[in-house]
Structure 1
Amino acid sequence: MFKDHRAPAPDPILGVMQAFAEDARDGKIDLGVGVYRTADGRTPVMRAVKAAERTLLDTQETKGYVALSGDPAFHAAMRGLVLGGVIPSDRVAALATPGGTGAVRQAFELVRRVRPDATVWTPSPTWPNHLAILDGVGMRRRSYRHYDASSGGLDREGMQADLEGVAAGDLVLLHGCCHNPTGADLALEDWRDIALLLAERGAVPMVDLAYLGFSDGLEQDAVGLRLIAAALPEMLVAISGSKNFGLYRERVGLVLALCDGPKAAAAVRGTLAWLNRQSYAFPPDHGARVVTTILTDPALRTQWEEELTEMRERIDSMRRGLADALREASGSDRFGHLAGHRGMFSLLPATPEQVETLRREHALYMIGDGRINVAGLTPETLAPAARAIAAVLR
């Protein structure tokens, strides 16, 4: 069976992780892997998470199965966090999943089942796994322009022009905030324009919300998503708890399917539970219960929001510091747009050859397309990272 089997090409991010781990040089800098890090290089367990886990340890009396769709209390807590009450709960179907990746997969699987002829429109560029999952499930996809490399910002005109090709029943993928890999986000007027266009065309938005709270704050980061939710009859949201709760290895994810009425929501709820049954049956619960405990305990929620603010402010500080250091190292403002990006990522105008030169000659690691994780920087590494980037990206 396996004699002539050839494995798929390894994930480039995992390749960067391995190469960095094997590099014995002092002063190496990892801007590749997309996880939050403190100034001393740790991905910490949040204090609110530890407190919630202590509560669960003391009070939880069973590890029995919950439901195929996950814990209803988790659904309700996350629904409130993301939607803020703009949609009646009986119009929303929810599904707990193994991480945000599982949420993306199950959302695509839902669309494939109910509308197999749909085209999925993805921003260019986007998180590579969006495209890999779509190809894996055999869905038709097209891209629309999102990033303008010449300005380092949103390609607003290109995006609008490309989305004119959207047809009724198509799915349009949007990044809720902190666009991965570019850091160039939609402004509120862009969300309004997209809502009008999708309403006119009869298409459905799907928002990948992996970084809620990492851009401008929990409420501010959800404004565009809520605007679209209030304006359209249907919508999908794929949510991750990896970043804003620091629960990477606990695999906390959720799909929210906004439907045009309670009857449709009940049908979608049943289909989502069926999809879980067909893939991994019951979703993981520990991380989801940690999140529920935090969101429903006022003291823990306050502590979590304070920690999330600290994380966001550290990222913002490193982002501004990098822009300043690059201005000094390059003697120009050609990297000034980095200061205006949001979240952990930005996209440098680097070729794969330049990325390899940065690794080989400067021990500076990033993804091959030039994506950098700003959270991987520290006050001590800002200057050497900027000097290396300015030297190679002349």
Structure 2
Amino acid sequence: MFEKLQPAPPDKILALLAQYREDGRADKIDLGVGVYKDEQGETPVMRSIREAEKRLYEEQTTKSYVGLQGDKAFCAVMGTLVLGDAILGERMRVCQSLGGSGALSIIAMMINRARPNATVWLSDPSWPNHIPLLSGAGLKPQSYPYYDAATGAILFEEMMAALRGAEAGDIVLLHGCCHNPTGADLSLEQWAAIADLCAEKGLFPFVDLAYQGFGDGLEEDVAGVRLMAQKVPELAIAASCSKNFAVYRERAGAAILVSNDAGALDNAFSQLLSVKRSVYSMPPDHGGAIVRIVLEDAGLRADWMEELEGMRSRMVTLRRDFADALRRASNSERFDFIAEQKGMFSRLGLTTGQIDTLRNDHGIYIVGDSRINIAGLHHDKLDDLARAIVAVSS
């Protein structure tokens, strides 16, 4: 059996991380892996999360299964966190998932049961794991124009033109905020235009919401998603707790379905749970439980929001200061778009050869599409980093 298998292609980001760890240079810089890091280069455990874990340890009396849907109280608070009062509760169903990736996967498999081999439209570029994940679920990926690498701007007219060519029943995957890998986000007016187009043509919006709170703020980052939910008859959302609660390894997330038709919504949700049963059955409890404790407790929630806002503000400052450093180093405005974008990521527009030179000669690790993790920057290294980038790209 096994001898018939060929090695799977290595994950480029994980391979880059392995290279970074083996690099003995003291001044090396990791801008590749997409996790939040503080000024010391650590991914911290948030204060509220640590306190919630203490409470869970003291109060939990069993390790029995929580049920196929997961922790229902967690599902309720996640639904509110994402959609607020934008829709009535009877229009929404939520189940706990294995992080954002797990939510994407089970929703995609449920969609394939409803519409086998359906076309799913993705931004060009998009998160690298979107295509294998959606293809693995049986869907057919198709790209729409999204990002102008030369200017750092969104190609909105080109995007809309492509989606006007989509067929009824096609799925449109949208990044809820903090677009990965570009950091270029849709405006609220653009969200409204896409929502109107989806409603007009019968397209199904599928929102990947991995970074709520990292862009403009907790409420601001989901304004577009909430507007979409009000305008279209149905949609799906994959929400992750990994970044905004910094519980990466706990794999906590939520799959959210919205529909105007209560009967159809119940049927879809039953199929979603059936997919879960066939893949991994019950979700793990720990991550969801600590997130629930934080969101249900007014004091812990306030502390979490304060710390999350500090993380967001730090990335905004890093963007501005890095763009300033690049402007000084290049004596141009070619990198100013970095300050205007949002979230953890931006693309520098470097070639593969230039990226290799940065790694080999300067110990600067960037993934092959020139995406950088803004949270991996250090204020005391911005000028040196800027000079190295300008030197290899001039």
TM-score w.r.t. the length of structure 2 is: 0.99
Larger displacement relative to structure 2 (29-38 or 252-261): 252-261
Distance in 1, Cα, partners of 2:72 & 2:263? 18
Given residue 241 of structure 2, which amino acid in structure 1 is its aligned partner?
G
Report the CA distance between 1:138 and its aligned residue.
2.8
CA contact (8 A) 1:69 1:272 kept: no
Partner in structure 2 of residue 282 of structure 1: 282
SS in structure 1 opposite 2:206?
strand
Distance in 2, Cα, partners of 1:161 & 1:381? 42
Given residue 370 of structure 2, which amino acid in structure 1 is its aligned partner?
G
Aligned identity (percent) is: 49
Larger displacement relative to structure 2 (377-386 or 303-312): 377-386
SS in structure 1 opposite 2:346?
strand
CA contact (8 A) 1:29 1:381 kept: no
Distance in 1, Cα, partners of 2:170 & 2:260? 16
1:303-350 Cα deviation digits (max 9, x unpaired): 000000000011111111110000011111110111101000001111
Aligned pairs for 1:173-184 (under 5 A) are: 173-184=173-184
Distance in 1, Cα, partners of 2:7 & 2:284? 28
Report the CA distance between 1:135 and its aligned residue.
2.1
Aligned pairs for 1:23-172 (under 5 A) are: 23-172=23-172
Matched, 1:207 2:207: yes
Partner in structure 2 of residue 237 of structure 1: 237
Distance in 2, Cα, partners of 1:261 & 1:292? 28
Given residue 37 of structure 2, which amino acid in structure 1 is its aligned partner?
R
Report the CA distance between 1:90 and its aligned residue.
1.8
1:148-193 Cα deviation digits (max 9, x unpaired): 1121111111111111112111110000000000000000111011
Distance in 1, Cα, partners of 2:51 & 2:180? 31
CA contact (8 A) 1:173 1:207 kept: yes
Report the CA distance between 1:268 and its aligned residue.
1.7
1:106-154 Cα deviation digits (max 9, x unpaired): 1111110111142100000000100111222231121001101121111
SS in structure 2 opposite 1:3?
helix
Given residue 141 of structure 1, which amino acid in structure 2 is its aligned partner?
P
Aligned pairs for 1:298-317 (under 5 A) are: 298-317=298-317
Distance in 1, Cα, partners of 2:268 & 2:385? 48
SS in structure 2 opposite 1:62?
coil
1:15-41 Cα deviation digits (max 9, x unpaired): 110000000012000000000000001
Given residue 49 of structure 2, which amino acid in structure 1 is its aligned partner?
V
Distance in 1, Cα, partners of 2:188 & 2:178? 14
Given residue 301 of structure 1, which amino acid in structure 2 is its aligned partner?
R
Matched, 1:222 2:225: no
Distance in 2, Cα, partners of 1:60 & 1:89? 28
Partner in structure 1 of residue 391 of structure 2: 391
SS in structure 2 opposite 1:294?
helix
Matched, 1:250 2:250: yes
Partner in structure 2 of residue 370 of structure 1: 370
Aligned residues: 394
Matched, 1:8 2:44: no
CA contact (8 A) 1:97 1:255 kept: yes
Report the CA distance between 1:72 and its aligned residue.
0.9
Report the CA distance between 1:270 and its aligned residue.
1.2
Distance in 2, Cα, partners of 1:374 & 1:359? 17
Partner in structure 1 of residue 336 of structure 2: 336
SS in structure 1 opposite 2:123?
strand
Relative to structure 1, is the Cα distance of residues 273 and 327 closer, same or farther in structure 2, using a 3 angstrom cutoff? same
1:269-303 Cα deviation digits (max 9, x unpaired): 21111111100110111100111111111001000
Distance in 1, Cα, partners of 2:176 & 2:317? 22
CA contact (8 A) 1:90 1:265 kept: no
Distance in 1, Cα, partners of 2:162 & 2:342? 24
Given residue 304 of structure 2, which amino acid in structure 1 is its aligned partner?
W
1:89-111 Cα deviation digits (max 9, x unpaired): 12212221111110111111111
SS in structure 1 opposite 2:379?
coil
SS in structure 2 opposite 1:222?
helix
1:215-251 Cα deviation digits (max 9, x unpaired): 0100100100000000111000001100000000000
CA contact (8 A) 2:169 2:202 kept: yes
Report the CA distance between 1:260 and its aligned residue.
2.2
CA RMSD between the two structures: 0.9
Distance in 1, Cα, partners of 2:106 & 2:81? 21
Report the CA distance between 1:85 and its aligned residue.
1.7
1:190-224 Cα deviation digits (max 9, x unpaired): 10110111011011101100000000100100100
Larger displacement relative to structure 2 (84-93 or 293-302): 84-93
Distance in 2, Cα, partners of 1:296 & 1:261? 29
CA contact (8 A) 1:99 1:241 kept: yes
Distance in 1, Cα, partners of 2:4 & 2:354? 35
Partner in structure 2 of residue 351 of structure 1: 351
Report the CA distance between 1:262 and its aligned residue.
2.0
Distance in 1, Cα, partners of 2:195 & 2:137? 27
Gaps of 5+ in 2: none
SS in structure 1 opposite 2:2?
coil
Distance in 1, Cα, partners of 2:87 & 2:369? 38
SS in structure 2 opposite 1:69?
coil
